[in-house]
Amino acid sequence: MSEQTTPKCVGVIMDGNRRWAREHNVPVFEGHQKGYEKFKEVVRWAKEANIQTLICYAFSTENWKRTEDEVGYLMQLFETALKNEFDEVSKENARIRFIGERGALSENMQKLMGNLEDKTKNNTAITVVIAISYGGRAEIVNALRKAHSEGGDLSEEAVAQHLWTHDLPDPDIVIRTGGEKRLSNFLPWQSVYSELFFKDSYWPDFSKAEFEDILKEFSERERRHGK
């Protein structure tokens, strides 16, 4: 029996929006819209399951290499969500955080992100962390530089204090949809002891039953952490 039946923190790689769109013969943009709707559903599921922190991989540093049209649409989708979703977020009593290379985003997006973080900072039901323009290696390099600039030994503790997630728990679970079985630069430092779950469902099709099955399996796993 697991020492911990409910995960404190869950990481999610929301993969498969484009393939979902192709299989349904609709524009890629519609796949991303469906993916955004699924994200809001999963936030509710996580809150209902008493998960304290949900970290969602929304846009990687590598995603900047996609077509100009697709990247432009995604940025527009993010910006629209930032402008319009505060009321819905407030109803969920969710605290919103962003991690990633903010300097790569527009000044307006950075402002909207900061405003949303500030407005929700006292919400207590769940912390929802959105990884946008995020790359795990970049995060580690950034942390190493900051730790080095402060002098002293480059210990694990010193580096961890400068990660973008320094005040967040490491994920107990990492879920990836879309059939791929890799982490793709998502939380490489933080996920070393995470339980990994790979689902074939594309992100827009990911179901509550699948989510609940993952939580059930997690509760039955014995997590030894090297012991």
What is the CA 27 to chain-centroid distance, rounded?
A: 24
CA 206 to chain centre: 15
**CATH number of the domain within which 170 lies:** 3.40.1180.10
* Amino acid (one-letter) located at 72: G
* 4: in domain: no
Give catalytic residue positions: 15, 63
Whether residue 134 is predicted with pLDDT greater than 60 in this model: the reply is yes
Is the C-alpha dihedral spanning 183, 191, 14, 57 positive or negative? negative
Global pTM reads 0.93
77-92 pLDDT, tens digit each:
999 888 887 667 777 8
Query: Which pLDDT value is given to residue 91?
Result: 76
Q: Looking at the predicted structure, is the pLDDT value of residue 108 above 60? A: yes
Residue 123 amino acid letter: N
- Sheet containing 195-198: order of strands: 94-99, 126-134, 53-60, 9-13, 173-176, 195-198
In a domain, 1, yes or no: no
Q: 179-200, pLDDT tens digit by residue?
A: 999 999 999 999 999 999 999 9
**58: in domain:** yes
Per cent of the chain over pLDDT 70 is 94
- Residue located via tokens 């949900």: 54
CA 87, 92, 93, 96: dihedral to nearest 10 degrees? -70
**Is residue 157 one of the residues assigned to a domain?**
yes
Q: What pLDDT shows up at residue 5?
A: 86
Residues 47-57 have a mean pLDDT of 97
Q: What average pLDDT score do residues 97-108 get?
A: 95
Helix residue ranges, H only, the chain: 17-23, 28-48, 68-84, 86-92, 107-120, 136-149, 156-160, 208-220
Chain mean pLDDT for the chain: 92
Q: How many domains does the chain have?
A: 1
**Rounded mean pLDDT, 111-115:** 94
- Give the structural domain span for 180: 9-220
Sorting pLDDT into bands at 50, 70 and 90, what band is 1?
A: very low
227 in a structural domain: no
pLDDT at position 226 over 70:
no
Which is nearest to 190 in space by CA: 226, 219, 166?
A: 166
Is residue 225, in this structure, part of any structural domain at all?
A: no
Q: Is pLDDT of 26 > 60?
A: yes
**Mean pLDDT, to the nearest integer, of 45-57?**
97
Q: CA 52, CA 10: separation in Å to the nearest integer? A: 9
| Per-residue model confidence (pLDDT) at position 221 | 83
Q: Which of 87-101, 115-129, 196-210 has the lowest mean pLDDT?
A: 87-101
